[in-house]
């Protein structure tokens, strides 16, 4: 018996159940929180000069961290990985003073609290400490 005949005999309802079960198993697991992060950033280096501007941010891809200079001038840091779908798409949303996932529009406050359904799992936030021109980011 060919596959088409088999599906026709089984019926559309059974095919739907089988398909939805298979597709449901393909979703991504929640990302593990970043532990033991201890990142030193020299704010005088060219790649971090953007952080002199309020509302700006830089992505540190190898550490999976986004560091921003908030609209109030404080340094804030979050994971690059969105809690909604584990995509590396978090940016600082300077117009609202929080974090945004550009993939699915998940929105978060600066403290990581989710602001919409896609941000409901909250966002991992890191501690920042400024010592002269060196910014330390830790988990």
Extract the tokens encoding 110: 């600066």
Whether residue 114 has pLDDT greater than 90: yes
Give residue 73's Cα distance to chain centre: 22
Report pLDDT for 39.
97
**CATH fold for the domain made of 38-138:** Rieske Iron-sulfur Protein (2.102.10)
Whether residue 78 has pLDDT greater than 50: yes
What distance in Å separates the CA atoms of residue 136 and residue 129, rounded to the nearest whole number? 5
Share of the chain above pLDDT 90, in %: 67
Domain boundaries, the chain: 1-28, 38-138
Mean pLDDT of the chain: 84
Instruction: For strands 90-93 and 57-60, give the pairing.
Output: unpaired
For tokens 């890191």, the residue is 126
pLDDT in tens, 27-60: 344 567 889 999 999 999 999 999 999 999 999 9
Report pLDDT for 25.
34
């Amino acid at each position: 018996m060919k596959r088409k005949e088999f599906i026709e005999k089984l019926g559309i309802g059974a095919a739907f159940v089988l398909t939805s079960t298979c597709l449901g198993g393909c979703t991504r697991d929640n990302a593990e929180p970043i532990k033991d992060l201890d990142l030193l950033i020299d704010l005088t280096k060219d790649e971090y000069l953007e952080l002199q501007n309020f509302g700006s941010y830089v992505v540190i891809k190898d550490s999976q961290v986004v560091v921003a200079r908030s609209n109030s001038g404080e340094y804030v840091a979050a994971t690059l990985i969105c809690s909604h779908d584990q995509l590396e798409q978090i940016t600082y949303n300077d117009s609202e003073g929080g974090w945004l996932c550009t993939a699915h529009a998940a929105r978060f406050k600066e403290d990581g609290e989710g602001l919409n359904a896609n941000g409901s799992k909250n966002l991992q936030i890191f501690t920042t400490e400024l010592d002269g021109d060196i910014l330390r980011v830790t988990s």
